[in-house]
Amino acid sequence: MKTVPVEIVTPERKVFSGDAQMVIARGGAGDLGVLPGHTPLATTLKISAVRIKLPDGSEQLIAVSGGFMEVKPDKVTILAEAAELPEDIDVDRAERARQRAEQRLAASGAENFEYRRAELALQRAVNRLQVAKTRDRK
């Protein structure tokens, strides 16, 4: 079974480093799956979970809040604005962030700059909560 080395880094730290059978991420143009030997590409990343299929058949989810992914035939590198493993997510904090974002959305007009900021905050909070749920399934 072929694998490809994967690194996920943020400005603060290296979040993940290891081999993968496949990496699934939500790029600027949609979802994409990367296998070993993939054609080189670079893409922006949306706020979403990155799925890493590990050599043992298990799957690692990582909450990513935007950034870039560079794919080479022999390596995948994700440079994320923020990234968290399920066990690192503070669920109470993420839930409070979700509630604040929903309140700001309700109070802002759809054309308002604050409305867009609240939308992004809500996406980040929901993504973190969804990824955090995976730790309970293990």
Model confidence band, residue 136 (pLDDT cutoffs 50, 70, 90): low
**What are the Cα distances from residue 70, in Å, to 18, 44, 47?**
16, 9, 16
Length of the chain: 138
Query: How do residues 68-92 score in pLDDT, each as one tens digit?
Result: 999 999 999 999 999 999 999 999 9
Closest CA to 15 of 86, 121, 112, 72: 86
**DSSP letter, residue 11:** S
Give the per-residue pLDDT at 30: 92
**What are the Cα distances from residue 7, in Å, to 67, 87, 111, 128?**
13, 18, 38, 19
Same fold, 4-84 and 87-137: no
pLDDT at 109 over 80: no
Dihedral over alpha carbons 8, 9, 10, 13 (to 10 degrees): 130
Class of domain 87-137: mainly alpha
* Mean pLDDT of all residues in 112-116: 76
In the chain, where are the structural domains located? 4-84, 87-137
Evaluate whether the domain defined by 4-84 bears CATH number 2.60.40.2470: no
Give the per-residue pLDDT at 104: 84
